[in-house]
């Protein structure tokens, strides 16, 4: 039966509507797909092209800026300067040797640095950036950047390098940084990830090493996208790290550079301490070295030259060097006898030039003797026989106890490498360390600062500051870290009393005054004639050899007639001004001979520089010395200026 025409027309209309709707939907979907395809293929073509080239994301550490070090006046003594370098990632480079060969046509590669880099590339993870060349020029960086497509895995970078603008003057105090070594890592239980970055630098000696954690800072991170050829395509994001804390120390750069210049040509050390605060104003050891050489990687030739130098430039003699203090120790012996009521200030001891003790003759430095000597004269003229007598009266235990009360024989808590403790020996010490009993001859030698007694220039400066003030002054080197003041400076202003009889201290100070200001004083030639800047001091000459009976019979050889290594050490300690002590100074000149001739003039000049904060007027010197002092000041000003102006020399 045929359907009516009317029904057929209705069916066609329905089918047409459905076809249109379905077709429209299909066209709409095709349009969406087409738009999406255009977006992916056109708008995001670069992004997906990178992904198609097997791009990946690397997360890399950003070394923080190391904290700077300033002197007490805010002058920079350790800073960071821009440094261009070239690094390589092994697994991004492919054929490492081939890439380095191409790189060598663009950049001068140091053979030693290259050998170290190749070793690091082999032993470290493949995605670790390794420095191939440091301190390259801007032209070299530009050439590498232009040729980047031919150098897969190679990245030119701008980093920071440590720089010491005052070079030699601060080398022993501030120290230097250098690449982390396997030995460094062995000392650390859980090394910071920063330390595993090849050629990352840490403090090796001095303030740089002892304050490493504060100065280092915390690493940042960055995400970079690299392609299959190892080329960094872009930096996705970064998180900056925390810079290391800045540090301010107590050293006065002007005084430090002057003392360094004044000691030039000698194997010597000097320490200057503020008598009020205990601040170390200067600490110098000569000869010195340029710490920038170690930052750059010192050559074998340069290092051997330092190592084999008979004047020993590498150790910090000011705090590491320990020496027999010689006659500078006599104040400790005298105070021990005074406090034990074994010494009457008006009593005299006869000095014929020697003393017989236990069938042995102990000599005074003055062969003919000093005659009748009271306490003041014993210090002024530095009579040894007087102290041989005091040693027998008071004994070594009380002498050593007094030495420690004055600051000798102890290690001070300073952020420096290998601070020496020195030695104030006792009977038990000799049994334990030498396996023998103490004898009276040991006490006699110790009483004049010989024998087993040892002290550093730092300890002698502390001793002098304590004698000058009667307070238990402690040395202080750091003013602040990260802007936070260190409390030691405040503590020293109220440092406890030494609990010594003030009359005894006055007697010692008066005797030290006569050393420098009485015509018969051993340091009279190095006096200051300005009343408000008078110095009170003590000379010392410590033997480094035994003088045989035969030599004494024939006449003791003069220092200048001996080989350098057999000459006596020269020492001088002083405080000034006498009526109101501001600074305490200790100087040692290794194998310098006489303390009065070699060490006292240096100590006087450094003291006056500290008091005047620059060159003193010539009128404070004796008239006969002024011409020489004027000439000396002109020479030292040039040496000092070369140190203070080195901040502009960053070669």
Q: Output the 3-class SS for 602-621.
A: HHHHHHHHHHHCCCCCHHHC
Return d(Cα 69, Cα 165) in angstroms, integer.
11
User: Cα–Cα distance between 602 and 271 in angstroms, integer?
Assistant: 12
The residues facing 454 across adjacent strands are 423
| Cα angle value 178/180/186 (rounded, 5°) | 135
Q: Give the distance from CA 348 to its chain's centroid.
A: 47
Of 584, 639, 631, the C-alpha closest to 607 is 584
Decide if 327 is catalytic.
Answer: yes
| CA torsion, ordered 45, 48, 54, 55, to nearest 10 deg | 90
H/E stretch holding 16: helix 5-38
Question: Three-state DSSP class for 132?
Answer: strand
- Note the Cα 587 to chain centre separation in Å: 19
Tell me how crowded residue 467 is: count the other CB atoms within 10 A of its CB. Answer: 26
How far the first Cα of the chain sits from its last, in Å, is: 110
Kindly name the residue from 83, 161, 288, 327 that is annotated as catalytic: 327
Number of H helices, E strands in the chain: 25, 21
Q: Which residue has the tokens 């502390």?
A: 462
Distance of CA 267 to the CA centre of its chain: 18
* Dihedral sign, Cα of residue 274, residue 460, residue 579, residue 342: positive
The residues annotated with a catalytic role in the active site are 327
């Amino acid at each position: 039966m045929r359907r009516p025409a009317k029904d057929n027309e209705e069916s066609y209309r329905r089918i047409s509507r459905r076809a249109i709707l379905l077709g429209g939907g299909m066209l709409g979907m095709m349009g969406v797909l087409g738009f999406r395809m255009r977006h992916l293929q056109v708008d995001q073509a670069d992004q997906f092209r990178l992904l198609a080239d097997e791009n990946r994301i690397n997360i890399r550490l950003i070394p923080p800026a190391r904290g700077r070090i300033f002197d007490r006046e805010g002058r920079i003594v350790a800073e960071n300067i821009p440094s261009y370098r070239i690094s390589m990632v092994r697994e991004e480079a492919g054929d490492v040797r081939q890439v380095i060969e191409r790189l060598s046509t663009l950049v001068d590669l140091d053979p030693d640095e290259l050998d170290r880099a190749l070793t690091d590339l082999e032993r470290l993870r493949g995605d670790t950036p390794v420095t191939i060349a440091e301190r390259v020029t801007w032209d070299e960086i530009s050439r590498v950047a232009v040729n980047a497509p031919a150098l897969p895995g190679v990245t030119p970078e701008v980093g920071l390098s440590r720089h010491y603008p005052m070079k030699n003057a601060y080398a022993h105090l501030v120290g230097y940084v250098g690449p982390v070594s396997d030995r460094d890592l062995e000392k650390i239980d859980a090394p910071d990830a920063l330390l595993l970055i090849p050629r990352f630098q840490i403090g090796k000696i001095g303030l740089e090493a002892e304050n490493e954690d504060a100065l280092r800072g915390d690493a940042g991170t960055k995400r970079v996208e690299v392609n299959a050829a190892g080329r960094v395509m872009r930096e996705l994001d970064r998180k900056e790290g925390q810079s290391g804390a800045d540090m301010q120390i107590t050293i006065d750069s002007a005084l430090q550079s002057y003392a360094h210049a004044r000691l030039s040509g000698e194997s010597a050390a000097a320490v200057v301490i503020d008598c009020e605060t205990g601040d170390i104003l200067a600490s110098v050891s000569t000869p010195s070295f340029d710490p920038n050489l170690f930052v750059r990687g010192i050559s074998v030739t340069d290092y051997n030259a330092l190592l084999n130098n008979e004047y020993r430039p590498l150790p910090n003699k000011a705090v590491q060097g320990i020496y027999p203090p010689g006659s500078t120790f006599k104040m400790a012996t005298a105070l021990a006898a005074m406090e034990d009521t074994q010494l009457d200030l008006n009593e005299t001891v006869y000095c014929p030039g020697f003393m017989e003790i236990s069938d042995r003759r102990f000599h005074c430095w003055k062969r003919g003797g000093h005659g009748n000597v009271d306490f003041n004269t014993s210090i002024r003229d530095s009579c040894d026989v007087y102290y041989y007598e005091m040693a027998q009266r008071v004994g070594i235990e009380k002498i050593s106890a007094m030495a420690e009360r004055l600051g000798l024989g102890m290690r001070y808590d300073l952020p420096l490498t290998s601070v020496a403790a020195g030695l104030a020996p006792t009977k038990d010490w000799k049994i334990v360390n030498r396996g023998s009993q103490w004898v009276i001859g040991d006490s006699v030698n110790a009483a004049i600062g010989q024998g087993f007694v040892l002290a550093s220039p730092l300890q002698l400066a502390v001793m002098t500051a304590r004698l000058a003030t009667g307070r238990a002054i402690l040395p202080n080197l750091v003013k602040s870290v990260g802007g936070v003041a260190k409390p030691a400076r405040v503590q020293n202003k109220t440092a406890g009393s030494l609990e010594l009889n003030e009359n005894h201290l006055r007697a010692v100070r008066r005797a030290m005054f006569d050393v420098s200001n009485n015509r018969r004083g051993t340091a009279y030639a190095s006096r200051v004639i300005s009343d408000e800047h008078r110095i009170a001091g003590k000379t010392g000459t410590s033997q480094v050899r035994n003088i045989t009976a035969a030599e004494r019979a024939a006449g003791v050889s003069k220092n200048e007639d001996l080989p350098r290594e057999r000459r006596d050490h020269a020492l001088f300690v002083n405080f000034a001004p006498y009526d109101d002590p501001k600074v305490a100074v200790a100087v040692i000149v290794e194998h310098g001979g006489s303390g009065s001739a070699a060490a006292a003039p240096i100590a006087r000049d450094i003291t006056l520089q500290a008091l005047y904060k620059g060159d003193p007027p010539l009128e404070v010197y004796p008239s006969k010395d002024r011409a020489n002092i004027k000439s000396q000041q002109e020479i030292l000003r040039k040496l000092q200026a070369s140190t203070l102006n080195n901040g502009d020399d960053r070669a």
